[in-house]
Amino acid sequence: MFGEAGALMIRKVITITAEDSPNVRYARAEIAAGREPSGRVLVPGVLTWAEYQQRRRTWDELEQTVGLDARFYEGAAIMLFPKAWLDRASGLAMSGVKMAAWRNTIGCDPAEGGDNTAWAVGNQHGLLALVSKKTSDTAVIVNETLGLMRYWNISPGDVVFDRGGGGKQHADRLRAMGYDCRTVAFGESLVLEPRRGTVLFQERKDNREERYVYKNRRAEMYGELSLLLDPADDRGGYALPRTLLDRKRPDGGPSLREQLGPIPKQYDVEGRLYLPPKNKRSEDTKEKSLVEIIGCSPDEADALVLQVYGMLNPVKRRMAG
């Protein structure tokens, strides 16, 4: 930053936390010396030890982070994937759950032209593989998908493509080869999956509730991943191995962690979770897109939520009789 004379001006930021209060520091010194805090007030009008303790007990995480620790809040109240949740997921074990004993699924976010195509492979325990590569020749997408299906023993109904970016065409090619895979459109409204037969009343009821919780399919899929990573979730935790979570893209772009971490948690006027649009809708809008927030297209993150969607929504096979 330069001043009027062109000289470089340096802006220094000073952070003062609740721990810097002389009254709190005195109480800390008493504790370090093995004594009970006396509550002595060295400087009147400054945060006391009793006030500090009371706020630690009663303030929520956001208030403590901002009001006591003088840090920007990045927790579950405003972020869809808080750093603490991603750190926890990266430490969960994945040993012994990789192959035939579990139903593995694939999510594929295909790209056209010179962009990256991403594949995510996983099961109920977590992410097993994350593949990202340039696919200027889009014919390799079908071959790569078939290779992953064979290696991880994945049935066609457990392969989910993003319908955009040529995904429908790749799925059609696989179907013509006898592999009946699925497609999902991120922007579609929440409607029941097409199927033959009667839709039960409970299914219609659950669908109405989901339509109120999520604004569209993209919000639902990212919201489901967020719930899986929530330490309070009762499904045992979903692992994102550090080697996959923190690995940079082949072109040096943001890692999976760096794609998920900045995504905000937002609700519309009806209380439904929604995400920023992937790309800017128009030059006039002030709303930031995911590409602007992350710095690139969230290809690997999209592949991951497609994998999770396929895992949580298995194909229901009809049985004779």
Q: Which two tokens stand for residue 102?
A: 């579990």
300: in domain: yes
Looking at the structure, do residues 68 and 209 belong to the same domain, yes or no?
A: no
Average pLDDT rounded to a whole number, residues 53-61: 72
Any domain includes 183 = yes
Given the structure tokens 């006396």, which residue do they identify?
Answer: 38
Q: What is the 3-state secondary structure (H, E, C) of 112-156?
A: CCCCEEEEEEEECCEEEEEEEEECCCCHHHHHHHHHHHHHCCCCH
Which residue do the tokens 């990573």 mark? 229
Separation of alpha carbons 215 and 222, rounded Å: 11
Q: What is the mean pLDDT of the chain?
A: 82
**Total of domains in the chain:** 2
Query: The CATH number of the domain where 218 resides is what?
Result: 3.30.420.240
The answer as to whether 80 is a domain residue is no
- Higher per-residue confidence, 124 vs 138: 124
pLDDT of 63: 63
Give the span between the Cα atoms of 180 and 249, in whole angstroms: 30
Q: Tally the C-alpha atoms within 13 A of residue 108's C-alpha that lie toward its C-beta.
A: 33
Confidence band, pLDDT 50/70/90 cuts, at residue 194: very low
Give the C-alpha separation, 258 to 261, whole Å. 5
Are 104 and 232 part of one and the same domain? yes
Q: How far is the C-alpha of 211 from the C-alpha of 233, rounded, in Å?
A: 21
- CB contact at 8 A, 186 and 222: no
Give yes or no: residues 160 and 307 share one domain: yes
Three-state DSSP at 184 gives strand
Query: Domain check: are 247 and 209 in the same one?
Result: yes
Percent of the chain scoring above 90 in pLDDT: 39
Do residues 94 and 237 share a domain? yes
pLDDT per position as a tens digit, 202-233: 444 454 455 558 888 999 999 999 999 998 88
% of the chain exceeding 70 in pLDDT: 78
CB 135 within 8 A of CB 110: yes
**Are both 150 and 251 inside the same structural domain?**
yes
My answer on whether 51 and 152 are in the same domain is no
Residues 160 and 288 reside in one and the same domain = yes
The predicted structure's pLDDT at residue 318: 56
Cα 69 to chain centroid, rounded: 25
45-49, 184-188, 199-203, 212-216: least confidently modelled range: 199-203
Q: Work out the average pLDDT over 16-40.
A: 87
On whether residue 116 sits in a domain, the answer given is yes
- Establish if 292 belongs to a structural domain: yes
Residue 217 maps to a domain: yes
Identify whether residues 144 and 26 lie together within a single domain: no
Mean pLDDT of 73-93: 80
118 and 240 in a single domain? The answer is yes
CB–CB of 23/42 below 8 Å? yes
Task: Tell me which of 175 and 113 has the higher pLDDT.
Answer: 175
- Domain residues for the domain of 31 are 18-73
Span 9-15, mean pLDDT? Answer: 65
* 272 and 164 co-located in one domain: yes
Top-confidence residue, 151 or 282: 151
Beta-bridged to residue 266, according to DSSP, are 274
Which has more pLDDT, 60 or 205?
60
Q: Is residue 9 part of a domain?
A: no
Would 10 be classed as within a structural domain? no
280 pLDDT band, cuts 50/70/90, is: confident
**Which of 7-21, 37-51, 96-110, 135-149 is the least confident region?**
7-21
Q: What is the mean pLDDT of residues 157-161?
A: 96
Determine the pLDDT at residue 201: 43
User: Could you read off the pLDDT of 118-133 as tens digits, one per residue?
Assistant: 999 999 999 999 999 9
CA distance linking residue 152 with residue 108, whole number of Å = 15
Is residue 180 domain-shared with residue 273, that is, in the same domain? yes
**What's the pLDDT score for residue 197?**
42
Question: Of the residues 27, 50, 73, which one is the last residue of a structural domain?
Answer: 73
Distance CA 191, CA 319 (A): 24
Q: Is the pLDDT of residue 146 over 60?
A: yes
* Higher per-residue confidence, 16 vs 74: 16
Q: In this predicted structure, what is the pLDDT of residue 164? A: 83
Closest C-alpha among 58, 78, 55, 79 to residue 67: 55
